[in-house]
Amino acid sequence: MVYPKHHRQIVEELMNGKFILSNEEHFNELKENEAFFQEFFKVSFDLDLNIKAEYAYLLSKETSENFSRDVSIFIAILSYELDKDGRNFLEAIEFNEFTTEEIDRYFDNSSFIDLIESNKAIKDPDGRRTLINGMARRNIVYKNFEDRFVFTQAYKVFVDFAKELALKRMSPESAN
Amino acid sequence: MIKAEPRTILSFIHTHFDVIRDLFNYQSTDGIITREVYDMICNRHGHTMNARLREYRVIRPIGSDYEMRDVYFRLMEFLLFEFKPLLPETIEKYKGSIGDLFLKIRKYEQQDRDILQERIKGLSHQIREFVDLVERNAFRLLAETRDLKSNIERVDYKEKVHKASFWIDYYILPLNKILDVNHSESVANTLMEISEYANRRRLDFGDETTRSEFEKLYVQLIQTNTDLLRQSKILTNELLPLLERIRTESLILTGWIEFLRNPYKMETPPLMKGSRTMTYAKDMLYKVREFFEQFSAPEVVMYEDSVEDFDKWIFDREVFMNKLAKQMPVNDFFGWCFNTLKKDFDEIETEKFFAVTGLLFDEALQIDFPKKDERVEIKTTTSHLSVPKLKVEPAIKI
C-alpha cells in the first residue's frame, strides 16, 4: 500500500492536537486525500477529522479538555475587550499583530476579573504566555517574535463556536 | 385659502422656527401632536400663536389632536435633514405610476399633442420624486447603520443583531432590488427603458415642442441613472457589508458573553489533547542508560606529565608605558624596547619584543622618522630583526 506524501507528519501533527493550515505544504496532501485520512483516523483511532478550506484538525472525544476551554475563555475575553475599546474585534483578530504587553493590558483591566483570577492559564502574564506558547505549538497563533503573535485561521473554530452558541440561545425554542 | 402674503408666512417661520421644530419633533416621534403638547407649545409663545399656526395652515386638527401639514413637515425634514427611512414598499409604488405614464405616452403618442406633453412632464415629476426618495432613504439608512455601529445608545449585542437583520431584510435588500438595473421588475430597469425610448423620440418625433420635452426627459434620465447607480453602490458596497459585519460581530459577542457567564459548564470545541516529548519522558531511563553504557567499557588511556614550565609572561602595557614616559624622548624606540626587556630577561623571544613594540601605536606618543635610512639590529632568540631608528616623544596636545 502506498501512503500519501507527508503521511507521518500529518498523522503526528494532528494526533498532537495541532491544526494543519492551508498555507502549509502538507495541507494540500491532506485535502487531496481527504477521504483516505477521514477513514484512516476513524478506523485506526475512532477519531473524526475536520477539514475546512483554511485548516484541518482532529476532534477529540474527550470533552473535559482544559486547553480548548482556556483558549475559548482567552479569545472570548479578548474579543469583548477589543470591542469595548471601540475596535473591530473580528478584523483585529484576523489581521492584527498582538503584543503580550497589549494582551496583559486588556486582561488586567478587564471587567471579567473574577473569571480571570480563577483560571490558572490566564490569571497572570506568565500563565498567559504559557497559553500563547501552547496555542503557537498547535498553530492557533503564529509567533512573529517572542512577544508578538498573530492568530491563524484556526481562530475560526472558536468564533464559530460562539456564533452557534448565540444562535442556540437566540432561537425561539431556547426562549421558551 | 391663505390670506397672508407668502413673505409674511416665511417671516413667521423664520421668527418662530423653534416652535415649528418642536411641533415637527413631536410629530416625528409620536406620529401626531397631542392636544396637551400643542396647548403647552402655544401657551409658551403667547395667545396669537394658535391663531397664526391655523391661519398659515401649519397644522390641522385631527379629532381632538393635531398634525403638521405635509408641506411643512417635508420642509422641516428637508431643512433639518431628518428623514425617516421609508419602507421600500412605499418607494416601489413609483414603479406603478412611472410605468403607467410611460405606457400611456407610448400608446397614445400620436394622439393629442398637449396631453402627451403633460404626460411627459408628469413622468419627469414622478421620476424626480422617486430619485429624491431613494437618495433620502439611502442617506438615512447609512446614518442609522453608522449609529448602530458606534452604538451611542448602548444597545446590547442581541438587540444589535436584531436591528442589523431588520435593516437588511426589510430595507436594504428590497431597496437594492428596486435599484437593480439587471432585474426586469425593478424601477431602475423601467427607467432605463424610458431613457432608450426618450432618446429615440427626441430625435425622430414629428412635433418640435414634443421633441424638446423628450430631450429634457432624456437629459434628466441620464442624470437619474447615474444617481441611482451611485445609491445602489452605496447600498451594496458600504451599507450591506457594514450591517453584515455588525450582525456577525454582535452575534459572536452575544455567544461569548453567554459563554463567559458560565464557561465551565459548557462544552467547548473538542480539540485533541497534545502530547509533548519532555526530558522526563517514560523512556528517559532507557535512553540515559544507553547513553552511559557506551562509556562503561574501560579504556587504556596514556598520559605523561610535562616537565617544561611554560612561559607565563603577560605583557603589562601600563608598566611599560610608564617606563617609556619617564625616559622620553627616546631616540631609538626599538632599541629601548629591547634594552628594557633585557633588564628582566636574559633571552628575549620575538613575541615579547613585538608585544612591547605595540606601545608605538599609543596616541600619547609622537613618532619621528629618521631623515636618513638609519636602522637598528635586534637579536631575539629566534630572529634577527632590522628595524628603523624611531624617535618617540610625548604627543603635543592641541
In this structure, are strands A97-99 and A148-151 parallel, antiparallel, or unpaired?
A: antiparallel
Average of per-residue pLDDT values in chain B: 84
**What was the pLDDT predicted at B222?**
92
**What was the pLDDT predicted at A52?**
93
Which chain B residue shows the shortest CA-CA distance from A90? B249
In angstroms, what CA-CA distances link A98 with A119, A147, A166, B225?
21, 8, 26, 46
Averaged pLDDT, B101-109: 89
| Cα-based angle A168, A173, A176 (whole degrees, multiple of 5) | 120
CB B239 within 8 A of CB B141: yes
Out of B251, B256, B266, the one facing A80 most closely (by C-beta) is: B256
Out of B248, B253, B270, the one facing A63 most closely (by C-beta) is: B270
**What was the pLDDT predicted at A173?**
64
Does A159 score more than 90 pLDDT? yes
Which chain A residue shows the shortest CA-CA distance from B277? A16
Contacts of A3 (CB under 8 A, 6+ apart): none
Does B186 score more than 90 pLDDT? no
Residue in A69, A77, A94 to test binding to B, most B beta-carbons within 10 Å = A69
Out of A16, A137, A162, the one facing B256 most closely (by C-beta) is: A162
CA distance B315 to chain A (A): 45
| pLDDT bucket at B281, cuts 50 / 70 / 90 | low
CA distance B156 to chain A (A): 12
Cα–Cα distance measured from residue B260 to residue A112, given in angstroms and rounded to the nearest whole number: 8
CA B63 to chain centre: 53
| pLDDT bucket at B178, cuts 50 / 70 / 90 | confident
The top-scoring range by mean pLDDT among A120-134, B154-168, B225-239, B320-334 is A120-134
What ipTM is given for this predicted complex? Answer: 0.91
Residues of B in contact with A74 (CB under 8 A): none
CB B93 within 8 A of CB B190: no
| Inter-chain CB proximity B255 and A47 less than 8 Å | no
Which chain B residue shows the shortest CA-CA distance from A69? B268
Does B166 score more than 90 pLDDT? no
* Beta carbons within 10 angstroms of residue B87's beta carbon: 13
Question: Which tens digit of pLDDT belongs to each residue from B33-72?
Answer: 998 888 888 888 877 888 888 888 999 988 889 999 989 9
* Beta carbons within 10 angstroms of residue B177's beta carbon: 15
| Cα-based angle B21, B27, B33 (whole degrees, multiple of 5) | 100
Q: What are B303's three cell numbers?
A: 598520559
| Inter-chain CB proximity B245 and A88 less than 8 Å | yes
**What was the pLDDT predicted at A3?**
86
CA distance A87 to chain B (A): 10
**What was the pLDDT predicted at B348?**
85
Which chain A residue shows the shortest CA-CA distance from B269? A68
CB A157 within 8 A of CB B252: no
Averaged pLDDT, A138-166: 93
Residues of A in contact with B265 (CB under 8 A): none
| Inter-chain CB proximity B161 and A166 less than 8 Å | yes
Cα–Cα distance measured from residue A88 to residue B83, given in angstroms and rounded to the nearest whole number: 28
**What was the pLDDT predicted at A161?**
94
CA distance B394 to chain A (A): 53
Which strands form A20-21's sheet, in the order they lie side by side?
A20-21, A55-59, A48-51
CB A138 within 8 A of CB B283: no
Residues of B in contact with A69 (CB under 8 A): 263-264, 268
Q: Is A65 left (phi over 0), alpha (psi -120 to 50) or beta?
A: beta
Question: Which tens digit of pLDDT belongs to each residue from A100-147?
Answer: 999 999 999 898 888 999 898 998 999 999 999 999 999 999 999 889
CB B236 within 8 A of CB A129: no
**What was the pLDDT predicted at B242?**
80
The DSSP code for B372 is S
Does B311 score more than 70 pLDDT? no
**What was the pLDDT predicted at B154?**
67
| Inter-chain CB proximity A166 and B254 less than 8 Å | yes
| Inter-chain CB proximity B272 and A17 less than 8 Å | yes
Comparison of pLDDT for A87 and A148, the residue scoring more: A148
The DSSP code for A110 is -
Residues of B in contact with A47 (CB under 8 A): 272
Enumerate the H helices of B87-156 as residue ranges.
Answer: 88-107, 113-150
Assessment of whether the complete model's pTM goes beyond 0.80: no
